[in-house]
Structure 1
Amino acid sequence: MGQGGEPRRGRPYDAELGVAVARAQEGDEAAFAVAYRTVQPGLLGYLRGIVGDDAEDVASEAWLEIARDLGRFRGDGAGFRGWTATIARHRALDHLRRLKARPRGTPIEQDVLELPGGHSTHDEALETLSTEYALELVAGLPRDQAEAVLLRVVVGLDGPAAARVLGKRPGAVRTSAHRGLKRLARLLAAEGVTDEAPPTLGDAG
């Protein structure tokens, strides 16, 4: 994990994150703290969409594994985000199995949807949501759509990286994310909240 060959969609802090991870692998505890502070907000937002109020506990379990296996990671800052998301997802699914529960969801829409362009109105609609309300709405999506939206928007992974986390093809993840965003856009339009601009879902912490 973490050895992707194709270009990734980066975030502004990915270069700094990559340096911090490399130093942490050499035993620099301060650098590990930097990596934690950089990745944790998005990771926690992703977990909240899967396990709800248990996200903090699951994140703690994930970070124990991340710290234990850090020496095995090979990759850059964007790759580290994908690697940590994969570990967090495994811990979340283990948690749900222990609870004999599954993420909430409704039947997957059967309509065939066109994929969005470079700047979709569905993304714009999503960005008008406050973090807490956004995560509440996302948690109500079908599981494949919820995870795709969370990985793309909250964790900030590109299509191929999100697909590796989910064990699916990039096209399938892209379609699931678009379906989720389209459903959220309809909900927002129905409730008349698309004109406001509070913090975006990407700021989830």
Structure 2
Amino acid sequence: MPRRSATDEAAFAAALARAREGDEAAFATVYRTVNPRLVGYLYGLVGHDADDVAAETWHDVVRGLSGFRGDGPAFRAWAATIARNRALDHLRRIKLRPRTTELEDAAADPPTERDSEGLALENLSTAHALSLIAKLPRDQAEAVLLRVMLGLNAPMAAQVLGKRPGAVRTAAHRGLKRLAEHMRRTGGTEEK
């Protein structure tokens, strides 16, 4: 995922401030900016149920948004904490009441101004990356997802996970090292 520029962060912070005041268009900007990364993070935690858990997360975000105080990175950390809590709740629920059938994913992404080919390639590479991250030990996978997908720094990711920043840095480093080794071994393709 590309890094955010200072201009992007400033525009996001302005949209966030307006969204806290009830501006629906500003909230849409906040949602479109954060949701794809949030769903990617959740996919690493709950798999194909990520969209459902994201919906629960956004419900909680909307309810608490007027009371939120902080900048863009703090908002992403706050949203990630809510998402993680919803994901853990979801995993406990399905453990108690396992599903008997797999539901088809019917959610469509909003249209973008980018070309379809580029979007398809990005989605394939994102799906491939998420499938590789899912094979990491849980602590490494979560650290990589929070640091890379959501762009959180180590202290914010540590806050989400309830760990020390050094532990998050180490887990992310080990996870990325494993991913790099896998990519070198397989030439970047999926092993059968």
Shorter chain as denominator, the TM-score bin is 0.7 to 0.9
Which of 84, 87, 95 pairs up with 1:89? 84
Which of 36, 55, 59 pairs up with 1:60? 55
- Residue in 2 aligned with 1:126? none
Of Structure 1 and Structure 2, which has the larger fraction of its residues in helix? 2
Q: Deviations over 1:152-198 (max 9, x none)?
A: 0000001111111111100000000011011111111110128xxxx
Which of 11, 26, 29 pairs up with 2:4? 11
SS in 2 for 1:100: helix
Q: Deviations over 1:38-94 (max 9, x none)?
A: 101110110011111000000000000000000111101111111111111110010
Q: Deviations over 1:135-165 (max 9, x none)?
A: 0010111110000000000000011111111
How does 1:96-107 map onto structure 2 within 5 Å?
96-100=91-95
Distance 1:27 1:69 in 2: 12
Distance 1:190 1:52 in 2: 25
SS in 2 for 1:130: helix
Partner letter of residue 62 of structure 1?
T
Which of 189, 199, 202 pairs up with 2:184? 189
Distance 1:193 1:30 in 2: 40
Distance 2:28 2:171 in 1: 33
Distance 2:73 2:94 in 1: 32
- Residue in 1 aligned with 2:27? 32
Q: TM-score scaled by structure 2?
A: 0.79
Task: Give the 4+ runs in structure 1 shifted more than 6 A.
Answer: none
Fraction of identical pairs, as percent: 66
How does 1:74-85 map onto structure 2 within 5 Å?
74-85=69-80
- Residue in 2 aligned with 1:156? 151
Larger RCO of the pair (alpha carbons < 8 Å, separation 6+): 1
Which of 166, 170, 191 pairs up with 1:171? 166
The 8 Å contact of residues 41 and 145 in structure 2, kept in 1 or not, is answered as yes
Root mean square deviation of aligned Cα: 1.5
Q: TM-score scaled by structure 1?
A: 0.74
Q: Any gaps of 5 or more consecutive residues in structure 2?
A: 97-123
Partner letter of residue 163 of structure 2?
K
| Number of residue pairs the alignment of both structures matches | 158
TM-fit CA distance, 1:21: 1.2
